[in-house]
Structure 1
Amino acid sequence: GAEEFFSQVEEALVGMAPGEKKTVTIPALDAFGEYDEEEVFSISREQLTGDIVPEIGMELELTGDDDEPVEVTVVEVTDETLTVDANHPLAGEDITYEIELMEIL
């Protein structure tokens, strides 16, 4: 009930006894959202600060249009541009939890 987990996980815990096991699957839409192709975009390498040498798979923090930080993953590198993906790494994925209640505090 402290909203530390997805609500489906918290709901699954209700009524469980110590030692009991459950499997809970959270659909992508309810977890980290569907994968959005519009969140994949290119930027100029000139926009990078410091001595960053971009590599595929590297995670960067950019500043969004609203001046808020945006975490992205580099998916393509050319001499002039980077293609980055601002989707959550688990976007589009159903999330499955295997739960075993150890004890009730």
Structure 2
Amino acid sequence: MSESQQVIGDKSEIILHFDLKLNDGSAVDSTRVNNKPAKMIMGDGSLTPNFEKCLIGLKVGDKKAFSINANDAFGMPNPDNIYHVDRSKFAAGEELKEGMIMGFAQPDGSELPGVIRSTAGHSVTVDFNHPLAGQDIIFDVEIISVS
């Protein structure tokens, strides 16, 4: 089967362009900005299973947009993922602005992104939910290659 006839399946290696948009059309992420398509292998964890399901059966040249509801995209915000952190835990003089995303070191050495939601006195509210939690997403794809 030639590459142009190859259909995306469970273990396919894919090169694709994608855009993630909110329902109002505002862009969240796009491979087109820098004209660098994404390369992935189905099932490698690059995309969640719900995003991967959209790709099954597509082939080279296909362009398609999928609406994915919040539960199936990045989930709903979990109130247990919002923490109040003492200001002293941040570098002295570090400017903390509402909406800024910061990396927080985890015990295993990895970094977890958190969004600064508010600062009041010595308390900083940090939201560790995915920034797109609670949002319905439009997943717009163009398949460039399948092998």
Name the TM-score class by shorter chain. Answer: 0.7 to 0.9
The alignment's TM-score, normalised by the length of structure 1, stands at 0.72
Inter-partner Cα distance in structure 1 for 2:61 and 2:104: 45
Q: Point out 4+ residue stretches in structure 1 off by more than 4 angstroms.
A: 102-105
Q: Which shifted more, 48-57 or 85-94?
A: 48-57
Amino acid at match of 2:83: F
Contact conserved, 1:8 with 1:24, CA < 8 A, in 2? no
CA RMSD of aligned residues (A): 2.5
Residue 75 (structure 1) aligns with: 117
The change in CA–CA distance for 1:38 and 1:13 in structure 2 (over 3 A counts) is: closer
* Alignment coverage as a number of residue pairs: 103
The alignment's TM-score, normalised by the length of structure 2, stands at 0.56
Over the matched positions of the two proteins, sequence identity in percent amounts to 26
Structure 1 residue 76: Cα displacement: 0.7
Structure 1 or 2: larger strand share?
2
Structure 1 residue 63: Cα displacement: 4.0
Secondary structure of the 1:101 match is strand
The change in CA–CA distance for 1:28 and 1:20 in structure 2 (over 3 A counts) is: same
Residue 54 (structure 1) aligns with: 96
Q: Unpaired runs of 5+ in structure 2?
A: 1-10, 12-40
Residue 33 (structure 1) aligns with: 75
Structure 1 residue 17: Cα displacement: 4.4
